[in-house]
Amino acid sequence: QVLSLVIPSQLQRVTHQALHRLFHTRSCLFVVLHVALQAAVFGEYTWEVFVYCWELQFHLLLLLLPYLLLAGNLGCFLLCSRANPGTVTKSNAASLVKVYAYDGVLFQRGLMCPTCTVEKPARSKHCSVCRTCVHRFDHHCVWVNNCIGASNAGVFLLYLLSLTATAGAVAAVTAAFLIQVLLLSNIMHGTYLDAQGQEHPVEIPFLVQHLFLTFPRIVFMLGFVLLLTLILGGYCSFSLYLALTNQTTNEWCKSRRFGGSPQLPSQPHHRPLVYKNIYSKGIWRNLKEIFNPPTVLERKKK
């Protein structure tokens, strides 16, 4: 009985350590997984879809569009993963404090980072993974193995948009190929016999089954890419919303977690603060700030 209690405890501890090493330390595992998935999808697309579509005389620009989007996505990926997200250091902390005002709710003046021992500028946060404070901290992205902050938020948004567009383009070309195959086979106007020998007109489930039996890998790839497009599209929409309203993921989560307004010790308990986004300056100025963040000259080290 004691052994039965020890084994689950050890298993739980090992699982916790594995998850901590996976998500709370710098690791290239998700980067490798990300590249491997793209390689697998484009390998299948090139080997089968591109060749079949070329034989069916699809327009060359349509066939090359996924590759062009992939090139742009890889460029954004490299820039986003290798860029300095906006590290707060002892030499620039005093200057970065002047960039954004403190809202008095999520960000308060005079707080020190216990790890970096620097004053925390408004909209900054200490990242336990990168072990540094990041200005205008959004989140730590395991897929690019880097923090998303003031200096690379615009590139990250372009990375998301290009990744979604790439998946959508692959899905569109693949779906167009399968539809063209159905049209050329004229199977859509046919009939089939069921197990009881009754004749039925061809319906969508039958067409999907026929395509899966004929092109199993292509249909599986299409399903995967469609699901990926929907997930990325939802996340892209959320990221665009944050960009248009000049919010970060960190700020959005904090405002929801504290019910919109954490209570300050100096405030009476019967007068709770109401959180209000003071950083939004209108759609166009918000977008401009994402791609051209406000900066100040760092003070030279004496």
Task: Provide the annotated active-site residues.
Answer: 141
CA-nearest of 170, 274, 278 to 229 is 170
CA distance 104 to 261: 10
For residues 97 and 136, is the Cβ–Cβ distance under 8 A? no
Using DSSP, state whether 185 is helix, strand or coil: helix
Residues 221-234, buried b or exposed e (16+ Cβ, 10 A)?
bbebbbebbeebee
Give me the sign of the Cα torsion angle 35, 230, 140, 81.
positive
Provide the β-strand partners of residue 191. Answer: 201
- Listing DSSP states for 88-113 in one string gives E-TTTHHHHTTTS---SSS--TT-B-
Cα radius of gyration rounded to whole Å, the chain: 26
Site of tokens 């899966």:
212
Cα angle, residue 219 at apex, residues 226 and 206 outer, rounded to 5°: 110
What is the pairing mode between strands 199-201 and 146-148? unpaired
CA distance 299 to 94: 8
